[in-house]
Amino acid sequence: MSSEDDPRRQDRRAFLTRAATLTALAASAPQGRAEASVLRPKDVEPFFGAHQGGIVTPIQRHVYFAAFDLSTERPEEVTELLRAWTAAAARMTVAEPAQPLAAPLQRVGRDVSAQKSAGAYEAGAQKFQPSVLSADTADALGLSPARLTVTFGFGSTLFVQDGRDRFGLAARRPAALIDLPKFPGDQLVEEHTGGDLSVQACAEDAQVAFHAVRQLARIADNVARIRWVQTGFLPNSPGHATPRNLMGFKDGTNNPPISDPAAMAKFVWVGDEGPNWMHGGTYLIARRIRIALEHWDRMNVAFQEQTLGREKYSGAPLGRKREFDSLNLDAADASGNPLIAENAHVRLAAAASNEGARILRRPYSYNDGVNFTTERWPPWRQGMEYDAGLFFLAYQRDPRTGFIKIYERMSRFDMLNQFVTHVGGGLFACPGGVRPGQFAGQGLFEST
């Protein structure tokens, strides 16, 4: 184990980084903390470090995820954006406003559209002043940072879009950042798919997570715009209990342990096989998976358990007793039929079924209300149905040997597929961790 991977060293480094962040920020914006209580260490996740936060960070209860498209053609505005985003994200993880409140917001790029309209508009008694934007929208003022993490990623279109090398980065596109294949059953819709840049904001407070993305969107407005967003949440499970998803099953039981640096190095972190700027980075697969909850809810529990391959209430693999008992894929009943069906979800997802492939899931539920649906199953009802399901986030060292490897068979055979539809998502290369003084992904833009 290298010193890099020693968890005690990581803890100590995290502590020092956090202390450094606080010290560096302390002088810059005291007024923003006018009503903030003293930061409790347990409310702060380190922003700087060998890896980005929000990946092996113990999962927070809320996520606000946003994919952005760049509207600029200038490479220097992309780096300027990442520099500004990095600074703002670091501040917000310690409950500082995105920028010091004493001055107006500093945005990236040329303020063309705003200048055009200046003075042309009166709002109430006062002139519209587009040049005086407040540094922060203040909706998180006084709140705990709530373990906020902000995780940046790069989509393939940052490198090449419609065959065009937009920013001179085409030659630097990592081999692992492939164009995702279309899987059987995929119904990905444009307005929930892809994007040049990704921002995953996780926190224990939904308002803190949204606040973070909103500030980054304001800073970016002249050079990048939101393409799609997704909120997600988890229940407040007692202790370290595995959270249940909206299907009522425990979700995440068989994740590789985030407390095991060797497992993370093997399955999550990019090593020497990747470009320098991806060392300590990882690849994010995001999938918006709508679940036909009304249909699922009409299945009896025994059938649900066969579909998943686990007991619903205990979480134990079929044929075993306890949640964390290992899968026994060879177990058979008296007739010689497998206890865990050939097309059961856990069998198809298991490392043993995929030549050892594993991914690190951060699975959130999403709940986007209801919309009109005509059912494709008995009793063929029509009406409002939940637009709810799983916002599946998974990190891996290489998507070709991670999600794609696993999902190629699952997308064809998994019994669960009759209840779920993948309706959006993306693949993003998340660069390695950020050192103080640098910005996220800086290595990508530096001459080698």
Q: Please, which of residues 249-278 interact with a copy of itself by CB under 8 A?
A: 249
**Closest approach of a copy of itself to the CB of residue 361, in Å:** 18
* Cβ atoms 420, 308 nearer than 8 A: no
The CA-based angle 260-265-269, given to 5 degrees, is 125
Say if residue 257 is preceded by a cis peptide, omega within 30 of 0. Answer: no
How many CA atoms lie within 13 Å of 448's alpha carbon, on the beta-carbon side? 7
In the complex, the smallest distance separating the C-beta of residue 193 from a copy of itself, rounded to whole angstroms, is 13
Query: Is there binding between residue 341 and a copy of itself (CB under 8 A)?
Result: yes
> Residue 429: beta bridge partners?
154, 283
Q: Residue 150 corresponds to which tokens in the numbers above? A: 């902000």
Beta strand ranges found along 293-406 (DSSP E): 360-361, 364-374, 382-396
- 139: how many CB neighbours lie within 10 A of its CB? 13
Stretch binding a copy of itself (CB under 8 A), from 19-27, 240-248, 353-361, 439-447: 240-248
Instruction: Identify the residue among 185, 248, 252, 338 touching a copy of itself (CB under 8 A).
Output: 248
Residues within window 348-367 making contact with a copy of itself, judged by CB under 8 A: 365, 367
* Binding to a copy of itself, residues 60-79 (CB under 8 A): 64
- In this chain, which stretch among 201-209, 275-283, 325-333, 426-434 interacts with a copy of itself, using CB under 8 A? 201-209
Q: Is 388 in the site for a copy of itself (CB under 8 A)?
A: yes
Give the up-direction half-sphere exposure of residue 160: CA atoms within 13 A in the CB hemisphere.
11
**What track of x and - describes contact with a copy of itself for positions 148 through 187 (by CB under 8 A)?**
----------------------------------------
What is the nearest approach in angstroms of a copy of itself to the Cβ of residue 74? 19
Spatial CB neighbours of 309, under 8 Å, sequence gap ≥ 6: 317, 318, 327, 340, 341, 344, 345, 346, 347
Of positions 88, 415, 420, 423, contacts a copy of itself by CB under 8 A:
415
Report the residue from 34, 171, 334, 437 that binds a copy of itself according to the rule CB under 8 A.
34
Give the E-state strand segments of 161-311 in sequence order: 197-203, 224-233, 282-291
Q: How far is CA 352 from the centre of its chain?
A: 26
Among 2, 300, 374, 447, binds a copy of itself (CB under 8 A): 300
* Among residues 47, 48, 167, 228, the one that binds a copy of itself under rule CB under 8 A: 228
Of the ranges 236-244, 254-262, 263-271, 279-287, which one interacts with a copy of itself (CB under 8 A)? 236-244
Q: Does 144 bind a copy of itself (CB under 8 A)?
A: yes
Q: Which is nearer to a copy of itself, 306 or 442 (CB)?
A: 306
User: Residue 381 carries which side chain, given as an amino acid letter?
Assistant: R
